[in-house]
């Protein structure tokens, strides 16, 4: 039976929810698809549940097509599985931990590598068993630091996670490529505009990990793209091309009085005016202090990051570089505990002495000369040379990436955009197989260590991403594949219009369409049209005043095109419209 607005469990809202900032969040709440229970925790109402199921169906079909076999794991998991891999602690505050009545530790699964590995180990033993791809569509739990934008970043969310198990590296590459192809099909079918970007620096072979990002201004991920060579990468994975070391004589360090210059801008104008220099911010070396904690340990390390003064430290890049270490801002109280660090005037010249680790941007190569802090209030130093006046403990990718930066592959200019991660494919290698001792018995009787891949799709997040990309000022505009129904029939007027609308609905349904009929008696046509636009079904049919002349109106929600069609042809014409 078709859905009827008169009895459908749905109340649309006229106003945006107060806590919503992004369009998808506003619209999914206003249109009655989801309701908030707590930060990052949402319930799905009937229409929302249908969209979620439709997305899951596409994912399931494509995973089955590529040879994946569906399983289902519990979300409630004992700690012991996550101990050998270190993730019980490494996951830090993001892991939901709890205890049962006996005081035994449990967690709510944030991702299931350990469990899949263990399952395969339990069932398979011979090389003849491999390869295998297993997946599930299951609820995940992460105590996100910043749950956000409704279902976009939830603390409970639906994910498709799959895992490939292969005997060798070529097998893994093949499984990875098959997943990549499946993801392309999935996101194409879902009507999502996306970009595939490197998620990891080239160190691991370039294609070891890629993300599918949906470009949207509200996205939390930043990615770069090169129009010349096609390189695209998450900003977290961008490798800064290091210039060649500089040789030649630089005059000795010169300490300068620079009162009241704690910022780079104030420093640059002061030294240019008072010390006869002509430098820009890029000639200064900015030293940013952070404290880094390691999940599971009480110790924090004080770390200083040196970047050219015209760039900020990008905290997400810093976090990615230090993971699983977690950097935090160095507060006034921390400075009080480190009298050697003069806030606003820190230079790397004394860090060895202070025993503080110093990591620099790759542009800070041996022989480069900088204006930087002199470790005394109101003083800076010029001609501070890397390799002569200080020696970094290493380099770090932490400086912000900017539009116009050189492409690490071809040197052309990079563009920069924001996006939302909808999928992630990852060649894990043997980390989890090592932890679990997952081997296959080879043809020669010797054990072969299995190599794995892990692959995720944010199923609930995809609903939000589609809404984010497919809406207009009036409401949602679902792609047909995920829409809660194909046709929204609006019956208006007092006479037999509603009856006719229900009849047309029944006819379309008998021909295989999914139909929603607005059969509400006491609701004005204006409200019904508004609701139809807000709910976003791809085809709207109005059975109204025209009925007395034997016509109904067909509206395309995407193009906004309207046409009058004879009632007698309506079913055929609507069928044709929904197949277009």
Give me the least distance between CB of 464 and ligand ATP, in Å please.
8
Q: Which is nearer to Mg ion, 320 or 541 (CB)?
A: 320
392 binds, among ligand ATP, Mg ion, none (CB under 5 to 8 A by kind): none
Quick one: how far is CA 217 from the chain centroid? 13
Pick from 155, 424, 461, 514 the residue near Mg ion by CB under 5 A.
424
Nearest distance, CB of residue 426 and Mg ion, angstroms: 8
Q: Per-residue b/e over 453-485, b at no fewer than 16 CB within 10 Å?
A: bbbbbbbbbbbbbbbbbbbeeebbbbbbebbbb
* Residue with smaller CB distance to ligand ATP, 19 or 561: 19
- Sign of the C-alpha dihedral computed for residues 439, 442, 445 and 448 taken in this order: negative
DSSP character at residue 350: G
Residue closer to ligand ATP by CB (options 186, 565) is 186
Residue 211 CB, nearest approach to Mg ion (Å): 6
By C-beta, is 240 or 460 nearer to ligand ATP? 460
| Shortest CB 140 distance to ligand ATP, Å | 7
Question: 89 phi and psi, to 5 degrees?
Answer: -95, -45
- Minimum Å gap between C-beta 214 and ligand ATP is 9
Binding residues for ligand ATP, rule: CB under 6 A, are 111, 142, 144, 153-154, 157, 159, 421-424, 456, 458, 460-461
Closest CB 377 distance from ligand ATP, rounded Å: 40
Q: Which is nearer to ligand ATP, 150 or 344 (CB)?
A: 150
- Pick 109 or 536: Cβ nearer ligand ATP: 109
Considering only the stretches 80-88, 423-431, 460-468, 480-488, report the one whose residues sit in contact with Mg ion under the rule CB under 5 A.
423-431
Among candidates 484, 490, 527, 522, which has minimal Cα distance to 45?
484
| Residue 53, contacted partner among Mg ion, ligand ATP, none, CB below 5-8 A by kind | none
| Among Mg ion, ligand ATP, none, partner that 231 touches (CB below 5 to 8 angstroms by kind) | none
Give min distance, CB of 283 to ligand ATP, in A.
Answer: 35
Q: Which is nearer to Mg ion, 186 or 440 (CB)?
A: 186
Q: How far is the CB of 462 from ligand ATP (least distance, A)?
A: 7
Q: Residue 281 and residue 336: Cα distance in Å, rounded? A: 28
**Residue 154's binding partner, choosing from ligand ATP, Mg ion, none, with beta-carbon cut-off 5 to 8 A by kind?**
ligand ATP
Tell me the closest approach of the beta carbon of residue 170 to ligand ATP, in angstroms: 24
Measured from each CB, the residue nearest to Mg ion is 424
Note whether 226 and 404 are within 8 A (CB).
no
Closest CB to ligand ATP among residues 142, 514: 142
Instruction: List the single partner that 68 binds among Mg ion, ligand ATP, none, CB under 5 to 8 Å by kind.
Output: none
> Which residues partner with 111 through β-bridges?
none
Least Cβ distance, residue 46 to ligand ATP (angstroms):
21
Chain residue whose CB lies nearest ligand ATP: 458
Q: CB neighbours of 139 closer than 8 A, spacing ≥ 6? A: 75, 156, 157, 158, 159
* Distance of alpha carbon 113 from the chain centroid: 19
Residue 560 dihedral angles phi and psi, to the nearest 5° = 80, 0
Long-range Cβ contacts of 256-264 (<8 Å, 24+ apart): 256/374, 256/379, 256/380, 256/381, 256/382, 257/378, 257/379, 258/378, 258/379, 258/380, 259/378, 260/378, 261/344, 261/378, 261/380, 262/343, 262/344, 262/345, 263/344, 264/309, 264/310
Q: Does 153 bind Mg ion (CB under 5 A)?
A: no
In the chain, % helix, strand, coil (3-state, to 5) comes to 30, 30, 40
Q: How many residues bind Mg ion (CB under 5 A)?
A: 1
Measured from the CB atom, is 200 or 451 closer to ligand ATP? 200
32 burial via Cβ count (<10 Å: 0-12, 13-18, 19+)? buried
**Main-chain dihedrals φ then ψ at residue 64, nearest 5 degrees:** -65, -40
Count how many residues are written for the chain. 580
Tell me the C-alpha distance between 500 and 495, whole Å: 10
In the complex, the residues that contact Mg ion under the rule CB under 5 A are 424
């Amino acid at each position: 039976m078709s859905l009827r607005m008169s009895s459908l469990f749905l109340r649309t809202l006229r106003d945006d929810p107060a806590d919503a900032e992004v369009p998808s969040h506003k619209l999914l709440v206003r249109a009655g698809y989801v309701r908030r229970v707590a930060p990052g925790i949402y319930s799905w109402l009937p229409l929302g549940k249908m969209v979620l199921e439709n997305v899951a169906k596409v994912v399931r079909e494509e995973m089955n097509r590529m040879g994946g076999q569906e399983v289902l794991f519990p979300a409630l998991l004992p700690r012991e599985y996550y101990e050998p891999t270190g993730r019980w602690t490494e996951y830090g505050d993001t892991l939901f931990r709890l205890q049962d009545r006996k005081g035994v530790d449990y967690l709510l699964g944030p991702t299931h590598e350990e469990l899949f590995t263990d399952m395969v180990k339990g069932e398979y033993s011979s090389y003849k068993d491999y390869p295998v791809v297993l997946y599930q569509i299951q609820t995940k739990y992460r105590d996100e630091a910043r749950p956000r934008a409704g279902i976009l970043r939830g603390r409970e969310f639906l994910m498709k996670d799959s895992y490939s198990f292969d005997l060798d590296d070529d097998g893994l590459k093949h499984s990875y490529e098959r997943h990549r192809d499946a993801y392309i099909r999935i996101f194409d079918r879902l009507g999502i505009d996306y970009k595939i970007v490197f998620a990891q620096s080239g160190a691991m072979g370039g294609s070891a990990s890629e993300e599918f990002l949906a470009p949207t201004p509200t996205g939390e991920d930043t990615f770069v793209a090169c129009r010349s060579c096609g390189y695209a990468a998450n900003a977290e994975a961008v490798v800064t091309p290091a210039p060649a070391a500089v040789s030649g004589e630089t005059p000795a360090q010169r300490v300068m009085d620079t009162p009241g210059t704690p910022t780079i801008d104030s420093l640059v104008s002061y030294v240019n005016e008072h010390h006869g220099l002509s430098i820009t911010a890029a000639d200064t070396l900015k030293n940013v202090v952070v404290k880094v904690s390691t999940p599971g340990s009480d110790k924090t390390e004080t770390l200083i990051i040196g970047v050219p003064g015209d760039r900020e430290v990008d905290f997400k890049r810093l976090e990615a570089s230090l993971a699983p270490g977690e950097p935090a801002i160095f507060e006034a109280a921390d400075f009080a505990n480190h009298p050697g660090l003069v806030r606003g005037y820190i230079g790397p010249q004394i860090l060895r002495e202070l025993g503080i680790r110093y990591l620099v941007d790759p542009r800070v190569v041996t022989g480069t000369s900088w204006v930087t802090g002199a470790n005394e209030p109101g003083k800076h130093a010029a001609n501070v040379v890397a390799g002569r006046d200080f020696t970094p403990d290493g380099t770090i990718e932490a400086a912000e990436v900017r539009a116009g930066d050189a492409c690490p592959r071809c040197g052309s200019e990079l563009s920069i955009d924001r996006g939302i991660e909808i999928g992630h494919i990852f060649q894990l290698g043997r980390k989890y197989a090592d932890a679990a001792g997952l081997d296959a018995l080879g043809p020669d009787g010797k054990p072969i260590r299995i190599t794995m891949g892990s692959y995720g799709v944010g199923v609930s997040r995809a609903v939000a991403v589609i809404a984010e990309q497919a809406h207009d000022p009036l409401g949602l505009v679902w792609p047909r594949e995920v829409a809660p129904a194909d046709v929204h029939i609006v019956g208006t007027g007092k006479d037999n219009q509603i009856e006719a609308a229900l009849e047309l609905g029944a006819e379309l349904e008998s021909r295989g369409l999914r139909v929603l009929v607005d059969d509400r008696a006491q609701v004005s046509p204006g409200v019904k049209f508004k609701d139809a636009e807000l709910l976003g079904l791809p085809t709207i049919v109005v059975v109204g005043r025209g009925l007395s002349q034997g016509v109904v109106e067909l509206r395309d929600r995407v193009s906004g095109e309207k046409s009058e069609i004879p009632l007698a042809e309506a079913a055929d014409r609507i069928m044709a419209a929904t197949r277009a």
